[in-house]
Structure 1
Amino acid sequence: MAQAPDAPLTASAASTPGRLAVRLRGIGKAYRVKDGEKRVLDGVDLDIRPGEFVALLGPSGTGKTTLLRLLAGLESADTGTVLVPSRRTIVYQEPRLVPTMRVLPNVTLGQRRGAATREAGRTALAEVGLAEHERSWPATLSGGEAQRTALARALVRQPELLLLDEPFAALDALTRLHMQDLVGDLYARHRPAVLLVTHDVDEAVRLADRVAVLRDGVFAVDVRVDLPRPRRTDAPAFIALRRALLAELGVHADEPAAPPAAPAPSRPAEEAS
């Protein structure tokens, strides 16, 4: 059900009967720091159904990207179990295109060579509106075009699980809205399970079936977004849910949210496949 206006959000276990795309149980993860260790995940449980879109919010340093990297297989949990599909891929904040390769080879990078793969790459480029750019060099692309190329590269792998690590954070506001619309359209067409890590509450509510807030190593909130699509940001139910989520993040309803701080450079990592 949609969150009633001004109703408090409550944490809920994401128990989902039947087949799952993602199943996490008791996930713990800590990093060594100067004075000992910092525990960023502390017994996290998470289920994501096939075709379900989950957005993950939380202050910086709360383990959102760590959780995503665990799902991608780029890091290992200290404790707990991680069950994920074999076909999964990540779209990062930066496109990570190979500058010495044209757009189409970037999209099909790591795939079996041949006419079928090239055709699949062209189809993916057409889906993101870049059919005319297959022979372009990455340096000639705008920020939005480069990120659409990264989305095409994810699509051509036909992932069962799509991981989005703040993929629009480096884009200007208008391009960001266009990219959100594109991701929404692609999700509706392909229906992978999706986990989106973001600092943008509006983005989370606009795109996701569920929004979870990670705080102190656990999920403080896991709420279903039962709003019709396309979602209007000025709709009363949208505004009420945004207000409740901002409150969970420590932002008062009568105060504008501060813009996110400039992100630190990402650690080098190869795209999961």
Structure 2
Amino acid sequence: MSVAVHIRGLRRVFGTRAVLDGLDLDIERGEFVALLGASGTGKTTLLRILGALDRPDSGTVLVPEARTIVFQEPRLVPSKRALGNVLVGLPRGAASRERGQRALAEVGLTEHANAWPHTLSGGEAQRVGLARALVREPELLLLDEPFAALDALTRLRMQDLVGDLVSTHRPAVLLVTHDVDEAVRLADRVAVLRDGTLITDETVGARHPRDPADPALTALRRRLLTDLGVRLPEEPGGAPEPDGVRQPTEGAMR
């Protein structure tokens, strides 16, 4: 594989605070990387720099020209139907329309091509946004907490859909998320951002589909939660934690 994203010494300062401070990161073509971190640690700033929506103050940032972003909100144009939203910015004509229809078919929305945004559910609207991103055949797909506003069941279905689409199209992917389970479920690598740099960058060795009860994934999840500053109880047989410390619930890091 060749490198799709190459970052060295990235620094981004707001006022007197360095949100990103000497960050290094490589993402291979076809590789799925999930980025975790507390709110305000610079995850979205990094994604915006990679998507050319912000600029670094210093450092090297090399990314493919063909890149797209899927945000937490679908950001659909209210005056355009679903297919029109997929085709925003593309040349008019039969070829683009056919590409758009194929993209909607891939996300399971063939019958919703003529639907107005206000008639779509949250999951359907987000699928339109995903089709809009993939129809451009990006070499780099940037995902900014795209499932955070969805209910739990729809979120799981969208995770499966994104996993399948990424396997088919093979872009490099950077997913920004607060959800440790989501990161471990989807990504080839999981990184943790703190104090402007990556303090963790681990490969997820398990094959897809992944069993959440896999002991290796359970151990990885615990390490990631610890790196995120979550205090966990000892494993069975270990020393007890101080009174009042509990295992986080499933949604603790969302």
Instruction: Please tell me the TM-score bracket, short chain as reference.
Output: over 0.9
Aligned-partner SS, 2:3:
coil
Query: Hey, what does 1:124 align to over in structure 2?
Result: 103
Residue 181 (structure 1) shift: 0.3
Instruction: Report the counterpart of residue 128 of structure 2 in structure 1.
Output: 149
| Shift of residue 109, structure 1, vs aligned partner | 0.4
For residues 71-150 of structure 1, the aligned pairs below 5 Å read 71-150=50-129
Matched residue SS, 2:19: strand
- For 2:207 and 2:175, the matched residues in 1 are separated by 19
Structure 1 CA distance for aligned equivalents of residues 217 and 55 of structure 2 = 36
- 1:27 corresponds in structure 2 to 10
Q: Distance in 2 between matches of 1:47 and 1:141?
A: 37
Q: CA deviation at 1:259?
A: 3.8
- Give CA deviations for 1:105-160 in whole Å, capped at 9, x if unaligned: 10010001100000000000000000000000000000000000000000100000
The 5 Å alignment of 1:118-197 reads: 118-197=97-176
Tell me what 1:14 maps to. none
Corresponding residue number in structure 1 for 2:186: 207
Q: Residue 85 of structure 2 aligns to which amino acid in structure 1?
A: N
Task: Name the CA distance, whole Å, in 2 between partners of 1:44 and 1:112.
Answer: 37
Normalised to the residue count of structure 1, the TM-score between the two structures is 0.86
Structure 2 distance, partners of 1:38, 1:45, is: 18
> In structure 1, how many angstroms separate the alpha carbons of the residues matched to 2:232 and 2:93?
55
CA offset digits 1:236-267 (Å, max 9, x no partner):
11111111110111112332156457xxxxxx
SS in 1 for 2:168: helix
Matches within 5 A, 1:187-266: 187-254=166-233, 255-257=247-249, 259=252
Alignment-derived partner of residue 54 in structure 1: 33
Distance 1:242 1:253 in 2: 11
Match of 1:12 in 2: none
Q: Which moved more, 1:242-251 or 1:88-97?
A: 242-251
Q: Which has the higher contact order (CA 8 A, sep 6+)?
A: 1
- Write the deviation string for residues 204-234 of structure 1: whole angstroms up to 9, x where unpaired: 0100000000001100000000001101112
Distance in structure 1 (CA, Å) of the matches to 2:36 and 2:253: 12
RMSD: 1.1
- Offset of residue 46 of structure 1: 0.7
The count of residues paired between Structure 1 and Structure 2 equals: 240
Q: Which runs of 5+ in 1 are unaligned?
A: 1-17, 262-273
Displacement after TM superposition at 1:81 (Å):
1.1
The separation in 2 between residues aligned to 1:128 and 1:243, in whole angstroms, is 33
Distance across 2 between alignment mates of 1:191 and 1:170: 25
Letter in 2 for 1:126: A
SS at 1:252's partner residue? coil
The secondary structure found in structure 1 opposite 2:130 is helix
Q: Is the 8 A contact 2:180 2:253 kept in 1?
A: no
